Structure 1
Amino acid sequence: MAVNTLQYSQQFQTVLDQQMLVGSTSGFMEVNAGQVKYDGGDTVHIPEISMQGMAKYDRDEGFNRGSVTLKFNPYKMTQDRGRTFSLDSMDVNETNFVATAGTVMGEFQRTQVIPEIDSYRYSKIAALATAENKVTTGYTPTVADILDKLDAEITDIQDVIGEDEALIICMSTKLRSILNNADKFHKYLNVAQFTAGAINTKVRSFNDIPILGVPSSRLKTQYVFNDGKTSGQEAGGFKADTAAKEINWIIMPQRAPIAVSKTDKVRVFTPDINQKADAWKIDYRKYHDLWIPKNRLAAIHVNVGA
């Protein structure tokens, strides 16, 4: 063989990781993973710094001693997902295997993996915000009040954290037409360049805060992630829970959500090695999760529909 199966696996993993970062609407959250310590396994460690405030300076005694604590809190990764695929050897030979399998796996990640990961992340942010009473519920946006509502929620956040923190708005694309026709549209909305790691794209902005459009199917408060075995869940994938509500938008600091996403294993077995069939076998595994450190939850607000 000109290229061994390990090289195949490395090729796929590199391409799929890049596709995941750029194709996902929540890909910017992975840039924040540089804040964590992760050495493999199911646990990441996120730093938390606490310190005492200022004290009076004494001209005789000098400084009052203060303390600073840096600790790495452990967070468990919970989303361990995967699938195995077979490509019959009669349908694909070694010379075009990379092209054919690359197309199949790229399409799988684009249509199945990326939407699922986006949906999980936004629903988890909504759950964390709900636990901290950082949610507005029952709001139906209109052209008359959408900008005022956005401005009020942004002001509430900036009143807590100041105006220097870079915020981001993740908004349902269903609201685009409402924004287009909103009162004072041209006064507050413009186009800006949004850059985060490998992501570099033009987006709308509201008072210089970028707005990332997210398909409404990925902005629900709750989902069911099928296990692939239970009756009714054999097809795998995910779906909105019957109790789910639509999320209009999420406003948060860009650095707040920390997402770790690993294409943990892409394994390739040739037809000669595959014992079950005369076919190429591809194992795909995605290990991921999202967290927001507690000291950043005060700067997050989720707006949920009726």
Structure 2
Amino acid sequence: MAVNTIATATLFQKNLDKAAAQQALTGWMEGNAGQVIYTGGSEVKIPKLDMDGLADYDRNNGFTDGGIQFEYETRKMTHDRGRSFSFDELYVDETSFVVTAATTMGEFQRLKVVPEIDATRIAEIATIAMSVTDDTQVEYGYTPAKTTIVDKIKAGIQKIREAQFTGNLICYVTYDVQALVSQYYGEKLAAATFAVNGVDTRVPAIDGVPLVPVVSSCMYTKLQFNDGKTNGQEKGGYKKASDGLDINFEIMSMEAPIAVQKTDNMRIFSPEVNQKARAWAMDYRKFHDIWVLDNKKKGLFVNIKDSKPVVSK
């Protein structure tokens, strides 16, 4: 029984990892992690490639030698989250198999894990954009309006294009912003295809950039992650940090972010193995994080509703 349970947990783990990538609005970011080395635990190795630029060609001596530097940069996934669940073995029959290990973990991931991953990635990217020198990749203090919202989004797209990011871009917007864009264009609103929850979906677009609507609870620059133990944090999950700001929209080159998420060694204990009770028990642990390399930071742009925070000296 124990062997079968371990095999089931392994299958669950693979399926949950796949489902998380499909369900998350930011799941495409994991496609950029193809060259990342993950060996388990919290560390990943990200490849970095740099080289010298063009030099003059000498008709007598030929080419000028150039240098190539390739290395792996070790990063740690800083978001180490988990939960343990259990339910009496009789619940399976009493609920007509509504409560099972598979349904419990699947719903937990869909309703609790995936939204937190999306919110975390959006917040991290906003923070990185805000850190670029001279605030070139951020605009503060804008309240969306029908007459100006399209120009604001176009200006953000232009910032990224001018930084020589000529590939695909994506723009995450609040539902309020999406509504204003729709009102501005009316029936002339263009559309693009974007995979939402693993399904290709037609979404509004500006200059060929898809506008992907995101619930406002995922559009903050900074989050507070509840530890599940402290008074008032027992429910777990996340919320807007006290110094978090509201995001109107966030644009990025699809080559910029590198995201990794892993369900690390999920465990399922059958009632026969569980030492505490005649109950099914499950441990769920999630490692995840997102990075943007230095030479990709100008491939980001974030527009924020709040004024720029004043930094005390």
Matched-pair contact (CA < 8 Å) for 1:8–1:98: no
User: 2:291 & 2:147 partners in 1: Cα distance?
Assistant: 35
Tell whether 2:40 aligns with 1:37. Answer: no
Q: Rate the CA distance shift 1:2–1:264 in 2: closer, same or farther, 3 A.
A: closer
Alpha-carbon RMSD across the aligned residues, in angstroms, is: 2.2
User: 1:245 & 1:195 partners in 2: Cα distance?
Assistant: 27
Q: Rate the CA distance shift 1:180–1:197 in 2: closer, same or farther, 3 A.
A: closer
Matched-pair contact (CA < 8 Å) for 1:265–1:286: no
What one-letter code is carried by the residue in structure 2 that aligns with 1:265?
N
What one-letter code is carried by the residue in structure 2 that aligns with 1:147?
V
Match of residue 179 from structure 2 = 177
Q: Rate the CA distance shift 1:27–1:33 in 2: closer, same or farther, 3 A.
A: same
Q: Rate the CA distance shift 1:205–1:195 in 2: closer, same or farther, 3 A.
A: same
Alignment coverage as a number of residue pairs: 301
Superposed structure 1 runs of 4+ greater than 6 Å apart: 96-99
User: 1:196 & 1:231 partners in 2: Cα distance?
Assistant: 36
TM-score, normalised via structure 2 length: 0.90
Bigger drift between 272-281 and 231-240 goes to 231-240
Match of residue 137 from structure 1 = 140
Task: Output one character per residue of 1:212-248: Cα deviation in whole Å (capped at 9) or x when no partner.
Answer: 1111110111111011122222221111112221111
Task: Output one character per residue of 1:166-195: Cα deviation in whole Å (capped at 9) or x when no partner.
Answer: 11111112222111111x5555x4122225
Q: Rate the CA distance shift 1:3–1:52 in 2: closer, same or farther, 3 A.
A: closer
Tell whether 2:218 aligns with 1:218. Answer: yes
Give the unaligned 5+ runs of structure 1.
none
User: 1:237 & 1:143 partners in 2: Cα distance?
Assistant: 34
Matched-pair contact (CA < 8 Å) for 1:274–1:281: yes
Q: Rate the CA distance shift 1:9–1:110 in 2: closer, same or farther, 3 A.
A: same
Bigger drift between 193-202 and 84-93 goes to 193-202
User: 1:115 & 1:165 partners in 2: Cα distance?
Assistant: 27
Match of residue 159 from structure 1 = 162
Matched-pair contact (CA < 8 Å) for 2:49–2:69: yes
Identity of aligned residues (%): 43
Give the unaligned 5+ runs of structure 2.
307-313
Matched-pair contact (CA < 8 Å) for 2:92–2:98: no
TM-score, normalised via structure 1 length: 0.92
Q: Secondary structure at 2:181's aligned position in 1? A: helix
Matched-pair contact (CA < 8 Å) for 1:28–1:197: no
What one-letter code is carried by the residue in structure 2 that aligns with 1:287?
F
Matched-pair contact (CA < 8 Å) for 2:41–2:264: no
Matched-pair contact (CA < 8 Å) for 2:178–2:211: no
